[in-house]
Amino acid sequence: MLIGGLAISVVKTPWQITGIWDEYTYSYTLFIIILGTLVPFYAYLSAVQIIGGQKASLLAD
């Protein structure tokens, strides 16, 4: 992602792009935060409760 971001910044400089933050932008950002962080974390904690801490730590490697 870093290399891709640096390569695309040569074509289109990101600091010259003006963005419009309206209610849709805020709601989609909140949706991504909730779906991308809270749901997987809750799923991981639920799985640890089901299979136990030792098996979860073995599967994490």
Tally of residues, the chain? 61
Within-domain flag for 9: no
Taking only the tens place, the pLDDT of each residue in 17-52 is: 788 899 999 999 999 999 999 899 999 899 899 999
pLDDT of residue 17: 75
Q: Is 6 within the bounds of a domain?
A: no
The pLDDT assigned to 19 comes to 83
Helix-strand-coil split of the chain, %, nearest 5: 80, 0, 20
In-domain check, residue 44: yes
Give 61's pLDDT tier (boundaries 50, 70, 90). Answer: low
Inter-CA distances, 54 with 41, 44, 58, Å: 18, 14, 6
What's the structural domain count of the chain?
Answer: 1
Question: Rounded to the nearest 5 degrees, what angle is found at the Cα of 33, between the Cα atoms of 19 and 50?
Answer: 170
Return the pLDDT at 46: 93
In a domain, 28, yes or no: yes
Owning domain of residue 28? 19-60
